[in-house]
Structure 1
Amino acid sequence: MSSIQDLFDKEKINSIEKFLDHLHNNILTQEIKIIDYSTLGIIDKDFMEEIRATSEDVTILFGKTLRDFKFILMDESRRSHEIFMKYNDPCRLSVSHVNLPHSQLQEREYSTIKEAVLAFQQYINSLSAYFHELECLDHMFTVMEPVNPTFKDNYRRILLDDRIWLHVEVTANGSAINIYLVGQSEKWQDKLQDRLLSWDHDKEIAENITDMCDLIKTSLHIPLHISIDEPNEREVEAPSCGICFCVELPNIQGVPQPLCQNANCGVYFHTNCLYQWLVACEGGRLPAFGVANGSCPSCFQPITCSEIDN
C-alpha cells in the first residue's frame, strides 16, 4: 500500500520518468503470485520502456487512465498539435482525437508510439500552408462559423455585412475551394461572380477576399463581443434563431444563418430548425432529394433548406 501511496507524493514523484520507474520497479514487478501486470489490462512492460525511450522533443502525457495518453508535436512554425491516442493491447495503438483535417492516419492502428509520431509529424509538416491560411482568415475577419474554429475545421464562414456571410473552404495544400455566399444579396453576388475569375493563386486567401469584396483591411475584423467601455467599436452579436429563439443548440453544430432569400428579411435560422419547420409544414413527409421548400416563417417569402447542411 505504501508503494501505491508514493505515486501521489509530489516530492518523490515529480516527473513522468520517476512515475514510470516507481510503477515498474515497486508495483508491477513485485512478486505477488495472484496478480500479473500483463493480465491487468493496463499497459505492458515494452510499452513502458518505449515511453521511457521516446525522444525529449516529444511530450507524452497520460489521461484519466494509463490506456489514454497524448503526445504533442511541433510544426515548422512552432505551433503545437495534440494527438490523443488509446492503448488497446500490446502493439495496438489507435487515435482517439486530433484537431487536424481528417486523414487515413486517424483510422489506422499503430504498433509503436514512434510509428505514430513519425506518421503524424510528416502529415503536420505537409499542412503548413493550410495552417497559415486558416490563421490569416481567423485573424483578419470575423468568423461566424465554426463557433470555435480549429484546424480540424477546413472551412470558414466570414461576416461581410449584417446579412451576408462568405463561405470558403481550404484544401490541405492551402488553396481555396467551394466559395459561395450565405444569404441573399444581388450586390455581393455580382461582386463574387465578377471577381472570382480574377482570383490570384499567388496571393493569400485573405488578401484575395479583401480585393474581391473591396474590404478595408483595417476594419476587417469585427469582434463578436464588445464591452460597453468601448463605444466606438462596432458591436456584432451572434443572432438568435427565429424558430427556437436560441443561438446555440446542444449536440447541433453551428449558429443561426441568414437563410431567407428575401433581402429585406432580417431573421436568422438554424438550418436544422428551418428544415424541420418546412418538413412539418408539409405534413411531416420527407422531401425528395433532401431539399425542403416552403415559406419563410417570418416574411412568408419562398425559402428552401437542404438536409445535408444540417
Structure 2
Amino acid sequence: MTDEGDAVACTGLRYSFGAATAVDGLDLTVASGEVFGLLGPNGAGKTTAIRCVTTLLPVPSGMVRVFGHDVAADRMAVRRLLGYVPQQLSADASLTGRENVALFARVFDVPRRERAARVGQALEAVGLAEAADRMASTFSGGMVRRLELAQALVSAPRLLILDEPTIGLDPIARTSVWEHIMAVRAASGMTVLVTTHYMDEADQYCDRVALMHQGQVRALGTPDDLTDDLRARRGDGSSPTLEDVFRDVAGSGLDEGGEFRDVRRTRNTASRVG
C-alpha cells in the first residue's frame, strides 16, 4: 500500500499510442507539500504521464496513486483532490473572470452555499479581484493564465497540477504567475506538480525535478544536486546550469524533440494566451 503521505506515486506506468510508447515504465514519487518539476523535451512523455495522474487517460499498465487512492479504481476520489491547469486554453472569452471561476466551482462540485465565497477567494489569491467582472476577452496573457489558476484553485485542491503554466508569456507575466502559485502554496501547503520547458523556473521554484527522456526518468533530485553531479562528472571546474543537465540527459532532444502535432499545439496555445 502506498504511503498516504505521498501526493503522487507512479510504479511501472506505461502508456502507448499505437506502436509509439509515450511512457515507458515510469517510477516516480512526489512527496506531499513539495513543488515537483517534471522536465523533458517535447515527446518525452510528460503530458501523457500528467494525464494519467489526472484520470484524463486510463492507466493500462502499472499503478498510479494520488494520496493513496488508486487512479484506475477510484477516479472520482482522485479528481476531488486535484486542481489542473492544462497547456490548452481553458478560460472562456465570452464570460467574465468571475463567471469562469464560478463555472469551475460547479464542475468541481463545490457546495452551492460556499461557491460565491470560494470564487472570490480564488480570484483574490491570484490578484484578479478587481478585474473579476471584466470579460475574459479583455485580459492580458498573464491575467488569462492567472484566471486559469483561479479556476483550478476554487476547489481547494490538495494537489495542483500545472502543464506548462507560463507557456507563451513574457518574463514579467511568467514571474507574476509563479509568485501567485507560490503564495497559494505557502498559505495552503498544497503539493504542486508542474511541467515546464523553462529551466530557470524549475531551478528557482522546484524542490525537486525529474528529467524525462523517451518515456523514462533519466535524472532525479534537487536542482543543486543535479548540477553538482554534472560538475563532478565533468571535472573541469565549470559551473553547469540545470539546462546543461537537461542537455546532458536529453542530448539533441531539447532542440528537436516532438512531432508536428506537438509544435502545432504549443504554438496555438501560445498565440491564444500571449
TM over 0.5: no
TM-score category (smaller protein): under 0.3
Q: Scaled by the length of structure 2, what TM-score is found?
A: 0.26
Larger Cα Rg: Structure 1 or Structure 2?
Answer: 1
Higher helix share: 2
